[in-house]
Structure 1
Amino acid sequence: MVSEIYLTRLLATKVVRHVVRHVVRHVGTLQKFVDDLFETVFSTAHRGSALPLAIKYMFDFLDEQADKRQISDPDVRHTWKSNCLPLRFWVNVIKNPQFVFDIHKSSITDACLSVVAQTFMDSCSTSEHRLGKDSPSNKLLYAKDIPNYKSWVERYYRDIAKMPSISDQDMDAYLVEQSRLHGTEFNTLSALSELYFYINKYKEEILTALDRDGYCRKHKLRHKLEQAINLMSGSS
């Protein structure tokens, strides 16, 4: 039994070393592409297109919530924004390019992308990047680049905060236009069904939150949501 355990560990160690050697051998070659990726994601000026209104609107909403709750710690705001966009969306795309492109992802490619994704996550963290003799290899490969990447993330959030605010009317118009442009690309009924299941699961909490919010009371959002729930319940 003991020998089997050590054999499993030995095999795992060999695989990890093989992957690390492969990544290390190509770090110099990949560096420009990794830099370009991070610069594009964390930049409002080098995208080649305007920053999506939804990002500005969402980040402003998070800042408003922090102000409302008198949260002055900038690390909290930074973490909220990182959890909403870079860590929820971009990390998933980096680790799983097959979600976007029609490609096959080999085990070696998967391991290499995991290193890049880990670097991406470390760049979004507000904690100090401490390394030691027990640090995993995937944290060591880009260790010297992390401080620079962190500065890009901080600059990105600052630049967005300085942009003119997006009104609710402009956001509504933007969403309507996006729905028109991409209306045939998605199954809206399926998305609606998933939203319904989620809302139904947390119905009481959501309705209570709508009751407490002045904006929601003014626009009778609780009543409108209850109507939608009743309509969906009757058709299901």
Structure 2
Amino acid sequence: LPLRFWVNVIKNPQFVFDIHKSSITDACLSVVAQTFMDSCSTSEHRLGKDSPSNKLLYAKDIPNYKSWVERYYRDIAKMPSISDQDMDAYLVEQSRLHGTEFNTLSALSELYFYINKYKEEILTALDRDGYCRKHKLRHKLEQAINLMSGSS
């Protein structure tokens, strides 16, 4: 999770925020991302005079950061497990709390434009699949497309 998600967000803040990332900012974020990756790494990095400067910049801080990461995972391991029922209840509650934040019409519109763009490929795939044929999914999708497009 840290390396697949957080490094990507650190390196590419424009994925989350409406900002322009200059080349200088990109270089700085690369150093931060590399430091984060080194802090989460379980292997020991040997640095020398030929090591890249971005690794040398925070080299003395990495052991401290590694101890924070180790403590974080140790603390998680000590936490009691959560039951499936508790997790389901939590997710239902979160869904209820944030239900008004989701724009259903906008999502339906985006789905419609995507389906319309790839309509032939999707309908062909529905025809080829036995489960989809059994449940008449092609026909149901065609009905939905007709409703959304306003045709009868």
Q: TM-score, normalised on structure 2?
A: 0.64
Q: CA RMSD in A?
A: 6.6
Cα distance, 1:228–1:151 mapped onto 2, change above 3 Å: farther
Cα distance, 1:147–1:167 mapped onto 2, change above 3 Å: same
Residue 158 of structure 1, CA deviation: 0.5
| Structure 1 stretches lacking a partner, 5+ long | 1-84
Which fold has the larger relative contact order, with Cα–Cα distance below 8 Å and residues 6 or more apart in sequence? 1
The 2-side partners of 1:148 and 1:214 are apart by 57
The 2-side partners of 1:117 and 1:218 are apart by 50
The 1-side partners of 2:45 and 2:133 are apart by 45
Identify the match of residue 60 of structure 2 among 133, 144, 152: 144
Question: Which moved further from structure 2: 142-151 or 222-231?
Answer: 222-231
Question: Which moved further from structure 2: 206-215 or 116-125?
Answer: 206-215
Q: Does 1:164 align with 2:80?
A: yes
Residue 215 of structure 1, CA deviation: 25
| DSSP 3-state at the match of 1:223 | helix
Cα distance, 1:162–1:135 mapped onto 2, change above 3 Å: same
Q: TM-score, normalised on structure 1?
A: 0.43
Percent identity among equivalent residues?
Answer: 100
Cα distance, 1:136–1:173 mapped onto 2, change above 3 Å: same
Question: Which moved further from structure 2: 217-226 or 100-109?
Answer: 217-226
Cα distance, 1:227–1:171 mapped onto 2, change above 3 Å: farther
Deviations 1:111-160 (A, max 9, x none): 10110001000100000021123322211110111010000000000011
Cα distance, 1:106–1:225 mapped onto 2, change above 3 Å: same
The 2-side partners of 1:153 and 1:213 are apart by 47
Deviations 1:11-69 (A, max 9, x none): xxxxxxxxxxxxxxxxxxxxxxxxxxxxxxxxxxxxxxxxxxxxxxxxxxxxxxxxxxx
| Structure 2 stretches lacking a partner, 5+ long | none
The 1-side partners of 2:83 and 2:128 are apart by 22
The 2-side partners of 1:139 and 1:197 are apart by 46
Cα distance, 1:182–1:223 mapped onto 2, change above 3 Å: farther
Question: Which moved further from structure 2: 161-170 or 117-126?
Answer: 161-170
Identify the match of residue 122 of structure 1 among 38, 59, 82: 38
The 2-side partners of 1:165 and 1:95 are apart by 33
| DSSP 3-state at the match of 1:104 | coil
Q: Does 1:104 align with 2:20?
A: yes
Residue 199 of structure 1, CA deviation: 18
| DSSP 3-state at the match of 2:47 | coil
The 1-side partners of 2:123 and 2:77 are apart by 30
Residue 109 of structure 1, CA deviation: 0.5
Cα distance, 1:169–1:105 mapped onto 2, change above 3 Å: same
Larger Rg: 2
The 2-side partners of 1:217 and 1:152 are apart by 54
Residue 188 of structure 1, CA deviation: 7.5
